[in-house]
Amino acid sequence: MLGFRAPHPPRAGRSSLRIGLVTDAFPPDLDGVAQVVLNYAQRLAERGHEPIVIAPARTGSTDDYPFTVYRYPSIAGKSKLGYAIGNPFSPITIRDLRHFDMDLLHIHSPFTAAVLAQQLDPKHRIPHVLTYHTKYDIDIDRVIPFPPAQKTSLRFLAHNLYQQDEIWAVTRSGGEAMANVGYHGGFRVMENGTDFAFGRAPDGEVAELRESLHLPEGELIFLFVGRLLWYKNIRLILDGLKRVQEAGVSFRAVFVGAGADELAIHRYAGSLGLEKRCIFPGPVFDREALRVYYSMADLFLFPSTFDTSGIVVKEAAACACPALLTKGACAAEGTRDGVNAFWAEENARSFAEKLLSLCRNPEQLKAAGARAEQELYRSWDMAVDEAVVRYRELLKQWDQKLHQ
């Protein structure tokens, strides 16, 4: 196949690997997948490899990175998932990418990115790895109103998963959730990391942020970071906070982010009488500034059952901020209730009871935050080093198969 390296010398033995990171989301997109791809590319480049990010053209992108970003043509507008829609059938795109002479394709979406990878290398002359980042069946149910179209979309997604040579899941429970879209094959757990430095932000920066948000001293600070969408269980958070307020506890809840349900969430908070307790500063793009928010918080609120991993939980742990999670959710995997995190059932009563218990025992919050920092922190350096080891194992298997 034109453009790919010949099988000799063995790719697995090369000091430098050329990895195609195929994605539907990349900065200026702000979601977790975009951050994953960015961190993979940065760490691969730092280690002397040659990452090539392959993403749809996006208004506002500058792509001033120490690695190659190939933007291929987008169809006008965005998908209902919020991403630019790339054209995976562009002959120019396929021709250009084949000449990059890649060793392996690491795909980060089972939609357009997976289709493009299949067009680029239909005979799988090089390995195809796909990371399953989130519960796409929930997204499909949200944005596609008609059951027949939902079923077709799920079949399409499952078909793309079965086309891969290896599937990675970011948690065990996240991998098992692929059965909901019709995929019943194997997968390997490869956890994400965080780009945050280990440890809290400086106290002076935390004090400045509290002052800018007009947060009084002595009040507990709760934090949510993520897309402002109802399926992140934000209604549960607000209902729980109302119960805490009714119990006479003084607190502030800071919601960092933006999303399609943002206005409705603001209105609902107001209808519960929480307008003086809830603060919505909008999205925070600067990573160091975001680190100050986590360092300011006493407790991170993340009851989402949608997310398969929740990088935000690791970000909070990096800043010694424990998380309140839904028992049994993917985001709670690897945590221990009352030790390095806290769990509640997926209802407002349980959530509020746990909050009230913690408000009465702030020393427990501090102790769990310290354990979270020590036990849950995982850097992107660690995650990408593991990925490179697996890349090489796959390439070794490929070379052996080619020489049989």
Any domain includes 4: no
Q: Is 37 left (phi over 0), alpha (psi -120 to 50) or beta?
A: alpha
pLDDT score at 2: 36
Lowest mean pLDDT among 42-56, 151-165, 258-272, 390-404: 390-404
Provide the pLDDT for residue 261.
Answer: 94
Minimum mean pLDDT among 6-10, 65-69, 156-160, 201-205: which range?
A: 6-10
- Tokens for 301, please give them: 């609120």
Q: Does the pLDDT at position 85 exceed 90?
A: no
Burial of 397 (0-12, 13-18, 19+ CB in 10 A): middle
Same domain, 364 and 397: no
Q: What is the pLDDT of residue 30?
A: 75
pLDDT average, residue stretch 17-28? 95
Is the CA virtual torsion 243, 244, 250, 252 positive or negative? Answer: negative
Band (10; pLDDT cuts 50, 70, 90): low
Q: pLDDT-based confidence at 79, cuts 50/70/90?
A: low
Q: What is the pLDDT of residue 4?
A: 44
Note down the domain range covering 166: 11-193+380-402
Q: Which pLDDT does position 31 carry in this prediction?
A: 79
- Secondary element (H or E) of residue 113: helix 112-120
Its sign, for the CA torsion 355, 360, 362, 367, is negative
d(CA 404, CA 106): 25
pLDDT digits (tens, 9 = 90+) for 235-272: 999 999 999 999 999 999 999 999 989 999 999 999 99
Inter-residue contact 154 to 175 (CB < 8 Å): no
> pLDDT band at 1, cuts 50/70/90?
very low
DSSP sequence for 253-292:
EEEE---TTHHHHHHHHHHTT-TTTEEEEE----HHHHHH
pLDDT tens track for 177-206: 899 999 999 999 999 999 999 999 999 999
Q: How many helices (H) and strands (E) does the chain have?
A: 14, 15
265 and 341 in a single domain? The answer is yes
The H or E element containing residue 122 is: none
384 and 368 together in one domain? no
Distance of CA 171 to the CA centre of its chain: 12
Which runs of E-coded beta strand occur in 73-215?
74-78, 84-86, 104-107, 128-132, 166-169, 188-189
Let me know how long the chain is.
Answer: 404
Say whether both 104 and 59 belong to one domain.
yes
Q: Is residue 308 part of a domain?
A: yes
Spatial CB neighbours of 67, under 8 Å, sequence gap ≥ 6: 41, 42, 44, 45, 50, 51, 52, 53
CA angle centred on 101, ends 14 and 76, rounded to 5°: 135
Please say if the pLDDT value at position 404 is more than 80.
Answer: no
Q: How far apart are CA 333 and CA 330, in angstroms?
A: 5
Residue 214 lies in a domain: yes
The verdict on residue 72 lying in a domain is yes
Amino acid at 21: L
Q: Are 201 and 292 in contact (CB under 8 A)?
A: yes
303-313 pLDDT, tens per residue?
998 887 778 99
Do 221 and 121 fall into the same domain? no
Q: Is the pLDDT of residue 7 over 50?
A: no
pLDDT for residue 83 = 62
Using the predicted structure, report yes or no on whether residue 315 has a pLDDT greater than 90: yes
Higher pLDDT, 50 or 9: 50
- Count CB atoms within 10 A of the CB of residue 73: 13
CA angle 32, 33, 39 (to 5 degrees): 90
> DSSP assignment of 52-100, as one string?
EEEEE--TT-----SSEEEEE-EEEEE-TTSSEEE-TT-HHHHHHHHTT
- Using one digit for the tens of pLDDT, what is the confidence trace for 89-146? 999 999 999 999 999 999 999 999 999 999 999 999 999 999 999 888 877 887 787 8
Q: Does one domain contain both 369 and 384? A: no
Given its phi and psi angles, is residue 313 left (phi above 0), alpha (psi -120 to 50 degrees) or beta? Answer: alpha
CATH of the domain at 118: 3.40.50.2000
User: Is 198 part of a structural domain of the chain?
Assistant: no
Is residue 334 helix, strand or coil?
coil
**384, 371: one domain:** no
Q: Are residues 29 and 63 in the same domain?
A: yes
Mean pLDDT of the chain: 91
Predicted confidence at residue 400, as pLDDT, reads 86
The number of domains in the chain is 2
Q: Which residues contact 247 (CB under 8 A, 6 or more apart)?
A: 352, 356
Task: State which of 4-8, 52-56, 170-174, 310-314 shows the largest mean pLDDT.
Answer: 52-56
pLDDT at site 8:
41
Q: Are 244 and 220 in contact (CB under 8 A)?
A: no
For residue 80, the model assigns a pLDDT of 52
Asked whether residue 34 falls in the same domain as residue 81, the answer is yes
Percent of the chain at pLDDT above 70?
94
3-class SS of residue 307: strand
> Which pLDDT belongs to residue 6?
39
- Domain for residue 256, yes or no? yes
